[in-house]
Amino acid sequence: MIQMKHLPIGILGSGKGSNCRAILERIRSGDLSAEPRLVVSDVLDAPILDLAREFGVANAYLPPGRFRTRLEPEIEEQLVQMLQDAGVELVVLAGFMRVLHEPMLKGFPRRIINIHPSLLPKFPGLEAWKQALAAGETVTGCTVHYVDEKIDHGQILGQREVAILPNDTPESLHARIQIVERELYPAIIAELCEKYVKDAGNFETAG
């Protein structure tokens, strides 16, 4: 008989962690058959670490080193080790403000996902909601995608649209996108969990 398995996940974030909260709430309520093994932040006082403590999830601050937008290679190796030691099978980026490079991409091939506040491939990069407003779009949204070596790039797993209203400010638009993000991200993780369970824990074949 095939054992029901929970997908062991690790969550990386640098900020407030509203997506992380949505994921942990869904796990707690039993909607999401994932198991949060570890939350890691590159920011010592990031609320996402308090959130992990609130939910009783192991958590760690990872001092990022001397670069601003990436981790030093040895530190990225440490991150791989921490996640592997925790038995993590899927890495979930939830507002992690550093670009991942070879150590993580090799350590977790096709096993790192990200959420981005635009309808990729439109508006990669920072403050994507402001970019959409400035471009005069009438619709934007959010995207969950596998992470590859390019920024906000990689196979798209799901998207949700958000209408841009005539009187939208960057703040009002961002707030509405974030509401939708908190539905989309757990829904996509749930799909990956289903594949993981169906393949009896062999996540390598989940495509």
3-state secondary structure string across 119-178: CCCCCCCCCHHHHHHHCCCCEEEEEEEECCCCCCCCCEEEEEEEECCCCCCHHHHHHHHH
Q: Is 19 in the site for ligand GRF (CB under 6 A)?
A: yes
CB of 35 to ligand GRF, least distance (A): 20
Instruction: Tell me: cis bond preceding 109? Omega within 30 of 0 counts.
Output: no
What's the CA gap between 139 and 165, in Å, rounded? 9
Q: Using the minimum distance from each CB to ligand GRF, give the nearer residue, 41 or 88.
A: 41
CB of 174 to ligand GRF, least distance (A): 7
List the one residue from 36, 103, 117, 154 that touches ligand GRF (CB under 6 A).
117
What's the CA gap between 103 and 147, in Å, rounded? 13
Both structure tokens of 78: 């440490």
| Contact set for ligand GRF, span 50-109 (CB under 6 A) | 94-95
Determine how β-strand 112-116 pairs with β-strand 90-93. Answer: parallel
Which stretch, 10-18, 67-75, 80-88, 159-167, contacts ligand GRF (CB under 6 A)?
10-18
**Minimal CB distance residue for ligand GRF:** 95
Of the residues 101, 116, 145, 174, which is catalytic? 116
Using CB under 6 A, count the residues that bind ligand GRF: 14
Instruction: Give the number of residues written for the chain.
Output: 207
CB of 168 to ligand GRF, least distance (A): 16
Both structure tokens of 87: 């038995």
Active site residue 6: no
Catalytically active residues, by annotation: 116
Contacts to ligand GRF by CB under 6 A: 13, 15-20, 94-95, 115-117, 178, 181
